[in-house]
Amino acid sequence: MKFRSDPARIRGSIAPVITPFTDDGDLDLDSLRRLVRWQLESGSHGVSIGGSTGEPAAQTVAERIAAIRAVAEEVDDAVPFLPGTGSAKLDETLEITGAARDAGADAALVITPYYARPTQDALVTWYATIAREFPDLPIVIYNVPSRTAVDVAPETVARLFAEHDNLVGIKETTKDFEHFSRVLHLCGGELLVWSGIELLGLPLLALGGAGFISAVANLAPVAVAQMYQAWEAGDQERARELHYGLHPLVDLLFVETNPAPAKWVLQRHGRIASAHVRPPLLPLSPAGEPRVRVLLDQGAHLLDTC
């Protein structure tokens, strides 16, 4: 938990690891542990589990907690660990967040409550409740309006950041890049802002962002980590080269609903035992497979570094 007391050190490429299942649909903790070890070997600057790429809404609370504990054991304080702990229900969110704290998480990534479409005042109450319940645990807002049907306004972020010392950052998964800028302008550089949109990760660094929680790190963790490192070293040409080189792999992720294409690739490369996704998702379809193969070939030079 060495990063929990100094969340400003949680920067760079935080890999949002997929949740592997067996062909029968059971949680596959052995494959999950192997994926985490691969991320650490590849130089990812942090690890997350239970974000959108991890299919949390298709899991029970017990399964999510089991996955968090397994990842925490593998990470073992080598890099920051930011599990997703949010749910549409407050009691579940508090239970999973508490389990993550006890497992040694450095911060909790808490998604906005989905489906209900709460007002901005309701979001303030939601996050204030969580922040007060866990005063010693850094809390990170997870804003992903395309999936939750609610957008955390920059003014709401600023209000929460000002009122709660342990609300330290936000993962912004919105293609509205003006939104990023307004959040940072209102909150200042002390707020940690990560991009959850793959192709906005590098541009966000120019605004003062902390890094990215990018699903493409599931396929090319070395390249994604090196992109951040190149930027930090002042090698903008290399950072841009990696950014554009990752385009085919980013497009691959969304040929069909993420994470089905990523799981298909990971199984083919022997990283996981099964490409199973839980309902309501379906595995990569025969119609989508040719497009994934083309994009995989185009991005193969970055996969080869992994």
Annotated catalytic sites, by residue? 142, 171
- 49: Cβ contacts below 8 Å, ≥ 6 apart: 16, 17, 19, 32, 67, 68, 71, 83, 84
Instruction: State the CB neighbour count (10 A cutoff) for residue 25.
Output: 13
Question: Residue 154: which H helix or E strand, with range?
Answer: helix 154-163
The owner of tokens 């841009």 is 240
Provide the H-helix boundaries in 10-153: 29-42, 61-75, 90-103, 120-133, 145-148
Asked whether the beta carbons of 251 and 295 are under 8 A apart, the reply is: yes
Instruction: State the CB neighbour count (10 A cutoff) for residue 12.
Output: 23
- The residue type found at 272 is I
The owner of tokens 């090698």 is 235
The owner of tokens 């799981």 is 263
